[in-house]
């Protein structure tokens, strides 16, 4: 039985996005054999395996657009929803205005996980649960070369 089911957009996306990649690596390392990554495609016609926690790092617009499919897959199980760009769901010009409310109404959201304290507090103030998590790139993703003064300015 996996202790954690991790919903991801695709393995290709997780490998190519530094933020997603470091979450994926950290979870695999921490949970070991108790970890199962599941793509959105793999949720079609399936049900979440028995587990302790479901974490979605799907793009929020993907969760919003596919909330009925995810509702069926989760079968009422709680889900933690990670989001790096909450403003897109709250500002007037946001690309998916109202997504938090729609997701919260459709799924059994345990908490929204945000990488900005201000936005996490804002989500809480809207009557939804949110947790703030610090996020920064892994050391191996950073380079001090070339020296700052030798970097091209565009």
**149 vs 67, residue with greater confidence:** 67
Least confident among 1-15, 35-49, 94-108, 113-127: 1-15
Q: Are 74 and 92 in contact (CB under 8 A)?
A: no
- pLDDT value at residue 98: 96
Q: What are phi and psi of 87, to 5 degrees?
A: -60, -30
Q: What tokens does 59 get?
A: 């793009």
3-class secondary-structure state, position 25: helix
In the chain, the domains with their CATH numbers are 4-150 (3.40.50)
pLDDT top residue among 141 and 88 = 88
| Greatest CA separation for the chain | 55
Half-sphere CA count of 97, side-chain side, radius 13 A: 4
Q: Tokens 């390392």 identify what position?
A: 29
CA distance 4 to 23: 13
**Residue 118 pLDDT more than 80?**
yes
Q: Taking Cα atoms as reference points, which of 18, 23, 17 lies closest to residue 6?
A: 23
Residue 141 has pLDDT above 80, yes or no: no
Q: pLDDT-derived band of residue 152, with 50, 70 and 90 as boundaries? A: confident
Structure tokens at 32: 């070991």
The predicted-structure confidence for 11-48, as pLDDT tens digits, reads as follows: 999 999 989 999 999 999 999 889 999 999 999 999 99
């Amino acid at each position: 039985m996996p202790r954690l089911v991790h919903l991801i957009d695709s393995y290709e996306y997780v490998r190519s996005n530094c933020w997603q990649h470091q979450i994926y690596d950290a979870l695999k390392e921490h949970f070991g054999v108790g970890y199962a990554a599941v793509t959105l495609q793999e949720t079609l016609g399936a049900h979440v395996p028995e587990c302790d926690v479901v974490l979605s790092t799907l793009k929020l617009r993907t969760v919003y657009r596919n909330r009925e499919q995810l509702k069926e897959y989760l079968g009422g199980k709680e889900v933690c929803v990670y989001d790096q760009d909450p403003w897109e769901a709250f500002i007037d010009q946001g690309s998916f205005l109202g997504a938090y409310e729609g997701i919260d109404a459709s799924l059994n959201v345990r908490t929204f996980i945000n990488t900005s304290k201000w936005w996490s507090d804002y989500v809480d103030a809207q009557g939804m649960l949110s947790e703030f998590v610090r996020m920064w790139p892994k050391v191996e993703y950073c380079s001090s070369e070339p020296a700052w003064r030798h970097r091209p300015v565009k």
